[in-house]
């Protein structure tokens, strides 16, 4: 998700779910835009982030910008929820506009 996934057409899927992808060294927070692109309006984008990833990136700023641009609306989030014994995670659900 560091570049457009040409095999996935725009507005194709009812939901896009990502677990274990938004971690340090994998994809940047801006990869959310690609998930939004191939999710239908009204669909859901659901992601998890390790707490360390969230703290080390501009993930929150990207989420805020996507909402300000009316691309998504936050439906629900869990901050510092259970994940690994040594580290919590954050969970996000967005509705695509």
DSSP 38-77: TEEEEEEEEEEEEHHHHHHS-HHHHHHHHHHTTSEEEEEE
Q: What is the pLDDT of residue 1?
A: 67
Give CA separation, 34 vs 15, 31, 37, 58, 72, in Å. 13, 5, 5, 17, 12
pTM of the model: 0.92
Q: What is the pLDDT of residue 85?
A: 85
pLDDT band (50, 70, 90) for residue 5: confident
pLDDT band (50, 70, 90) for residue 4: confident
48 token code pair: 């998890």
Residue 2 has pLDDT above 90, yes or no: no
pLDDT digits (tens, 9 = 90+) for 21-64: 998 889 999 999 999 999 999 999 999 999 999 999 999 999 99
Helix/strand/coil for 6: coil
């Amino acid at each position: 998700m560091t570049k457009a996934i040409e095999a996935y057409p725009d507005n194709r899927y009812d939901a896009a779910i990502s677990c274990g992808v938004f971690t340090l060294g994998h994809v940047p927070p801006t990869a959310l835009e690609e998930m939004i692109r191939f999710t239908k309006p009204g669909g859901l984008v659901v992601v998890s982030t390790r707490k360390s990833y969230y703290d080390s990136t501009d993930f929150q700023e990207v989420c805020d910008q996507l909402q300000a641009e009316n691309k998504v609306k936050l439906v629900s989030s869990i901050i510092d929820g259970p994940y690994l014994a040594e580290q919590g995670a954050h969970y996000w659900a967005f509705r695509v506009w």
